[in-house]
Chains A and B, each alone.
Chain A
């Protein structure tokens, strides 16, 4: 690979315990994220797509160590903290002080712009908080200059500095959240469904903003969404998740032109296309997503997969490379034999 790796996630797991009864005995586990591995390169956008409850958000939060993983490693190429002989550090092994320092380089944008901004803080103090916490700017005048720079770069104006979040619309609030995330010029931003709560016309504005910020500041995005058309527009590579596992990971053109996993095929075909003349063979999956506390044996998707064979019910498929460029990963026993038509 010619691109340098910014983030390398290896065998990440998060099992939430289910406790029942008076003594709160652990009676089972919800395998929210189950053995997930992927890499994010510098300056690229990796899209993470899947249905509700598949573990997208949990994965995103674990990368910032906001949720403590059950198992696995998260290697991050940090400029601030270095270990000998290695280019990356394992975030999960850092001391709390080091972790705080590293978090300057990784930020998060939340889905709901209404609950992620403190209603008692002005826009100015919201955006300056990361700068103050990490003691980046001491001088008040410089701080003010930086805030107005940030506001301008997200399309807001200086006059907004002393206003409170409730005075803004959803799209503007999301812009404030973005300004706060880029305040420390991070290397990685985890964008957790940043546009799902917005109306289409505003959604397009925010998507354009995220793209232009990425070009200017060379930030990598882990972009979490459930909307495939948004994911396709913004991502370079896409990972599809189903029940806590990545089922397919490849470049976006490859994913949409040559999907190899039956779930990806069904997901793509079920997007409603805004063109009444567009007639296509819809693949309609039967049934619901099984419960992650009691996932099916073998391949998690076999209960809804029309191609399922005996092997799918018995053994769990692993994510493996299937093309010679080493950039298309699928976890399906039958990926070599299936002729998926989209």
Chain B
């Protein structure tokens, strides 16, 4: 058995809206290995971010995590089920930001505009590590240096709006890593950045993962970023995991028609192929009108009779490669 940082089983998070119940995540299970990066990929609305927020216990009304288990292994090898803890309780607050921390997509809205960058990071360190102000300040300067921010002694007295997008995202990463978390959840950390800046930030995250021994849950819609950053990948569609594999298996041998469709949809930078792109027909269906059977049936090129009657389960196709499709049952 390999060491897992977090072990999630049959997690369900539903949103109770006027229009009906919206199953944002519907019965998903996965594990994140120690010091590895797990990528979550899918289109908007498939439940990627809700997965992250469910782990952080930040789901607010009208959403609710209905059932499941999130077993988190702490530093002293204690296993706790995060779902058994009250999200507002002291224990959860001591885990959040300390053992599990998060990087958000848009650093401008995730940081407080009326506090300096230094104050915001110092606050995190003082809260969780109970160090005095001067120690915390020194640690902040060190970590800002680690994430490659030039002249951190000056930067800690500046405000988020004075920084460029790349620097802001670095400060965000510094804040997330300030307490040496066991698990870092990165929710589309580079989507708002330009390619050259994205390359800088990805490189930095890889380096820091080694130095800080952190596991990462990396959420993105960009398959290119997934292939560069991750060890294992989960593909999500409409609140379900449709495929789960190591990064090499997934890209060399995608199984689920949705994964195959996604890969064909990206124009390849290497080929000079001028044939039309192979697309997935149609749109993501309305989540309130989920019909019986497989959720991908209306867009699937290989749809069969059974797909309309039963819901496929995640089954093993080869070692460490699962997919939920009747083609492989």
Given the complex of chains A and B, what is the CA–CA distance between A235 and B248 in angstroms?
31
Question: B28 within 8 Å of A by Cβ?
Answer: no
B276-A201 in contact (CB<8A): no
For the complex formed, measure the closest distance between the CB of A118 and the CB atoms of chain B, giving whole angstroms: 22
Pick the contact of B247 from A51, A273, A276, A288 — CB < 8 Å?
A276
Question: B317 within 8 Å of A by Cβ?
Answer: no
Question: A65 within 8 Å of B by Cβ?
Answer: no
Contact with A along B219-261 (1 / 0, CB 8 A): 0011111111000000000000000000110011000000001
Question: A232 within 8 Å of B by Cβ?
Answer: yes
Note all chain A residues with C-beta closer than 8 A to B228.
272-273, 276
Given the complex of chains A and B, what is the CA–CA distance between A233 and B271 in angstroms?
9
B203-A273 in contact (CB<8A): no
Q: Which of the 9-residue segments A14-22, A97-105, A202-210, A322-330 touches chain B?
A: A202-210
B222-A272 in contact (CB<8A): yes
Contact with B along A251-285 (1 / 0, CB 8 A): 00100100000000011111111111110001011
Note all chain A residues with C-beta closer than 8 A to B198.
270, 272
For B, the interface residue count at a CB cutoff of 8 angstroms equals 45
Note all chain B residues with C-beta closer than 8 A to A233.
267, 277
Q: Which of B226, B251, B266 has the most CB of A within 10 A?
A: B266
A274-B224 in contact (CB<8A): yes
Query: Which chain B residue has the least Cβ–Cβ distance from A212?
Result: B276
Query: Which chain B residue has the least Cβ–Cβ distance from A263?
Result: B196
Pick the contact of A200 from B43, B164, B196, B268 — CB < 8 Å?
B43
Interface residues of A in 146-194 (CB under 8 A from B): 169, 171-172
Question: B78 within 8 Å of A by Cβ?
Answer: no
Q: Which of the 9-residue segments A2-10, A32-40, A77-85, A222-230 touches chain B?
A: A222-230
- Known: A199-B44, A201-B280, A285-B196. Contact between A271 and B261, CB under 8 A? no
For A, the interface residue count at a CB cutoff of 8 angstroms equals 44
Given the complex of chains A and B, what is the CA–CA distance between A269 and B281 in angstroms?
32
Note all chain B residues with C-beta closer than 8 A to A276.
227-228, 247-248, 251
Given the complex of chains A and B, what is the CA–CA distance between A172 and B195 in angstroms?
27
B195-A226 in contact (CB<8A): yes
- Known: A202-B283, A208-B279. Contact between A270 and B195, CB under 8 A? yes
A267-B283 in contact (CB<8A): no
For the complex formed, measure the closest distance between the CB of B128 and the CB atoms of chain A, giving whole angstroms: 31
Note all chain B residues with C-beta closer than 8 A to A272.
198-199, 202, 222, 224-225, 227-228
Question: A211 within 8 Å of B by Cβ?
Answer: yes
Query: Which chain A residue has the least Cβ–Cβ distance from B195?
Result: A270
Question: A52 within 8 Å of B by Cβ?
Answer: yes
Note all chain B residues with C-beta closer than 8 A to A285.
196, 199-200
Pick the contact of A274 from B166, B200, B223 — CB < 8 Å?
B223
Interface residues of A in 276-313 (CB under 8 A from B): 276-278, 282, 284-286, 288-289
A271-B279 in contact (CB<8A): no
For the complex formed, measure the closest distance between the CB of B75 and the CB atoms of chain A, giving whole angstroms: 31
For the complex formed, measure the closest distance between the CB of B105 and the CB atoms of chain A, giving whole angstroms: 15
A274-B195 in contact (CB<8A): no
Question: B265 within 8 Å of A by Cβ?
Answer: yes
Note all chain A residues with C-beta closer than 8 A to B224.
271-274
Given the complex of chains A and B, what is the CA–CA distance between A199 and B202 in angstroms?
22
Given the complex of chains A and B, what is the CA–CA distance between A170 and B303 in angstroms?
25
Query: Which chain B residue has the least Cβ–Cβ distance from A278?
Result: B227
Question: B124 within 8 Å of A by Cβ?
Answer: no
Contact with A along B11-48 (1 / 0, CB 8 A): 00000000000000000000000000000000110000
B195-A201 in contact (CB<8A): no
- Known: A51-B194, A201-B280. Contact between A284 and B199, CB under 8 A? yes
Could you give 11 example pairs across A and B, Cβ below 8 Å? A201-B261, A204-B279, A205-B279, A229-B266, A232-B267, A270-B199, A273-B227, A274-B227, A275-B251, A284-B203, A289-B164
**Partner-B contacts on A (CB < 8 A):** 51-52, 169, 171-172, 199-205, 207-208, 211-212, 226, 228-230, 232-234, 253, 256, 266-278, 282, 284-286, 288-289
Instruction: Give me the 10 closest cross-chain CB pairs, A-B, nearest first.
Output: A272-B224, A233-B267, A270-B199, A204-B265, A51-B194, A199-B43, A274-B223, A201-B280, A204-B277, A204-B279
Query: In the complex, given contacts A51-B194, A199-B44, A229-B268, what are 5 additional A-B residue pairs having Cβ atoms less than 8 angstroms apart?
Result: A201-B262, A272-B199, A272-B225, A282-B199, A285-B200
